[in-house]
């Protein structure tokens, strides 16, 4: 079931669910947390061996994978914690300050 919160701005205490229980699972996906980020991960495809360690450790499930290969980062939810860059065995991930141009692939 999709929880309809479109009118939430005009809800009173009567409309909010008892005990702040959200009657829908997994809706944290709708909440964009990427805006908290000060550094974004950038992956060098040439160095990457597709070991998927970054995908395993990402606390926000923000490493996107297709056909068992890392494709992109979900920047709507990545908070820029840098764990992926830290664990990468081939240093294929760099943390790049937000607001800067991404480096050229060498």
Partner 1 sequence: MPEHKTLAATGNTVVAEAMRQCKPDVMAAYPITPQTTIVEEYAAMVAKGRVHTEYVTVESEHSAMSACIGASAAGARVMTATSSQGLALMWEELHIAAGMRLPIVMANANRALSAPINIHCDHSDIMGARDAGWVTYFAETAQEAYDNTIMACRVAEHPDVMLPVMTTLDGFITTHSIDRVSVMDDESVSGFVGQYVPKTALLDLENPVMHGAFSGLGGPYFEFKKQQRIAMENARKVVKDVAEEYAKLSGRPFDVVETWGMEDAETAIVVMGSTAGNTRHVARDLRAKGERMGLVKIRVWRPFPHVELAAALKGLKAVAVLDRAESFGAEGGPLFLETRSALYDAAERIPVVDYIYGLGGSDVKLELIERAYKDLSDIAAGGAAPAGPVYLGAREEA
Closer CB to partner 1, 13 or 101, in the complex: 13
> From CA 8, how far away is CA 27, in angstroms rounded?
15
Site for partner 1 contains 6 (CB under 8 A):
no
DSSP conformation class of 101:
P
Beta carbons within 8 Å of 35's beta carbon, 6+ residues apart = none
CB of 63 to partner 1, least distance (A): 24
Partner residues linked to 42 by β-bridges: 94
CB of 32 to partner 1, least distance (A): 14
CB of 7 to partner 1, least distance (A): 13
Of 13-21, 54-62, 75-83, 87-95, the segment contacting partner 1 by CB under 8 A is: 13-21
Q: How many CA atoms within 13 Å lie on the side-chain side of 85?
A: 16
Which spans of this chain sit near partner 1 (rule: CB under 8 A)?
Answer: 1, 11-13, 16-28
């Amino acid at each position: 079931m999709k929880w309809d919160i479109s009118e939430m701005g005009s809800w009173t205490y009567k409309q909010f669910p008892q005990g702040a229980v959200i009657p829908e699972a997994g809706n944290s996906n709708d909440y964009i947390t990427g805006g908290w980020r000060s550094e974004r991960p950038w992956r060098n495809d040439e160095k990457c061996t597709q070991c998927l360690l970054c995908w395993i450790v990402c606390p926000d499930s923000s490493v996107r994978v297709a056909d068992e290969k890392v494709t992109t980062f979900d920047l709507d939810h990545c908070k820029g914690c840098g764990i992926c860059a830290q664990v990468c065995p081939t240093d294929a991930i760099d943390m790049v300050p937000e607001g800067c141009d991404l480096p050229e692939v060498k």
